[in-house]
Amino acid sequence: TQSLVEVKNLKKYFPIRKGIFRKDKSFVRAVDGVSFTIQRGETLGIVGESGCGKSTTGRMVLNLIHPTEGEIWFDGKEISKLTEDQMRVMRKEMQMVFQDPYASLNPRMTVREIISEPLIVHKISEGKEREKRVCELLELVGLNSYHADRYAHEFSGGQRQRIGIARALAVNPKLIVADEPVSALDVSIQSQILNLMQDLQKEFKLTYLFIAHDLSVVEHISDRVGVMYLGRIVEIADKDQLYDNPYHPYTKALLSAVPIPNPRIKRERIILEGDIPSPSNPPTGCTFHTRCSKRMKICELNVPKLNEIKKGHSVACHLYR
Ligand code: SF4
Ligand code: MG
C-alpha cells in the first residue's frame, strides 16, 4: 500500500545578500536533499540540533513553504504542484501542532473561538452542531466544556498544548506535523501530552511527523527515527534499531549524551569537536567531517549517500559502504 507521505530529494535554500557590490548570491542550505516516507498510522520522528533543518522540512511537508527543489507526495498527490484552491481542500487533511502553545494561541480568543476557527474556515459545521463538536474535542484532549468560554492565557502550558491539539484535530486530519510540541513543558507534563498524542493516534488512525531536539522525547513516541545534521538525514531506522544500534558517528555522539536508566549498561560519552558549521557555508564532502573523530581522507571529498545497510536502516557515512 501507498505511503501517506513521501518526500524526494527535498531542498530549501534561503537566499542571503552578502553586500551591495557582491553579485554572487549566497544561500543558507536549510534543507539539502532529504528523502523519506511516512506510512499511514505511524510516527516518524525527526531529531537534530537547532538549525539542522527539521522545522523547515516539517513546514515543506505541509506545503506552508515551497521547496527549492524536490517533490512532496501526500496521499498519492504531488502537493507542491497544486494550485492555491486545490491546496485549500488538502489543508484539512494535514495540520500542525506548534512548539509554543503560548505563542500559537491568540490570547484574546476564547477556547471556543480557537477551536471553532478551523471548523468555520473549512465550512465543516455550524450552529448547535459546531457547539457540540467543540465540546467533544475538548473532552477528547482531557478538558471540559466549561473550559470553552475561558481565554487561552488562563490555562497552564500543558492545557494550552491540549487546546492546540484539539484545534488540530477539529478538521479530522490524516497527518499531524508536531514541531517540538512538548519542549516548552515541564518533564512531568511532557509525558502526559505524549501519551495523549499516542491515544489520539490509535483512536483516529493519525499519522505523525514528530520533530524534536530531545532524543528521549522522540524515542517515547516514534516508530521510526531520522537524524538530521546540516540539512541532511544522516541516519534513519526503526526506533529500537536506531537507539540500540546506531551506526553514524553523529547519532552515536548524540545518544552518548542521553542518560541511560539502567546503570549496568555503560556507554562511553563521545564529545563532539567544535561547533555546528554554518549552513550558508557547509563543509565539503560529509558535512560532519569537521567534528568527526572517525573522519578519513574521502570524507572531505565525497558526500556519503544514504545507504540501506540493514533492512529499514540507512546510514550516510563512508565507514559503511
Ligand atoms: Fe565521519 Fe567520514 Fe562518516 Fe562523515 S563520512 S561521519 S566524516 S566517518
Ligand atoms: Mg525548529
The grid coordinates listed for 246 are: 546506531
Pocket probe mutation, ligand 1, options 252, 292, 302, max atoms within 8 Å of Cβ: 292
> What's the pLDDT at 108?
86
The grid coordinates listed for 192 are: 502526559
Q: Could you tell me the distance, in angstroms and rounded to a whole number, from the CA of residue 17 to the centre of ligand 1?
A: 31
> What's the pLDDT at 21?
59
Atom of ligand 1 nearest to the CA of 304: 5
Q: Could you tell me the distance, in angstroms and rounded to a whole number, from the CA of residue 267 to the centre of ligand 1?
A: 20
Asked if the model's pLDDT at residue 24 lies above 70, the reply is: no
Atom of ligand 1 nearest to the CA of 250: 6
Asked if the model's pLDDT at residue 206 lies above 70, the reply is: yes
Residue 280 CB coordination number (10 Å): 14
> What's the pLDDT at 269?
84
Q: Is residue 249 within 6 Å of ligand 1 at its C-beta?
A: yes
Residue 254 CB coordination number (10 Å): 21
Atom of ligand 1 nearest to the CA of 298: 2
Asked if the model's pLDDT at residue 274 lies above 90, the reply is: no
pLDDT tens, residue by residue, 173-189? 999 999 999 999 999 99
Percent of the chain with pLDDT over 90: 78
Q: Is residue 304 within 6 Å of ligand 1 at its C-beta?
A: yes
Please check whether residue 61 is in contact with residue 78, taking contact to mean a CB–CB distance below 8 angstroms.
no
Which ipTM was obtained for this model?
0.97
The grid coordinates listed for 291 are: 567534528
Q: Which of 101-115, 186-200, 280-294 has the lowest mean pLDDT?
A: 101-115
pLDDT tens, residue by residue, 72-83? 999 999 998 888
Asked if the model's pLDDT at residue 285 lies above 70, the reply is: yes
Q: How far is CA 41 from CA 73, 222, 240, 314, in A?
A: 16, 11, 18, 21
Asked if the model's pLDDT at residue 18 lies above 80, the reply is: no
The grid coordinates listed for 21 are: 557590490
Helical residues (DSSP H) of the chain, grouped into ranges: 54-61, 84-90, 101-104, 111-121, 127-140, 157-169, 187-204, 215-221, 239-244, 249-256, 297-301
Q: Where are the domains of the chain?
A: 247-321
> What's the pLDDT at 10?
97
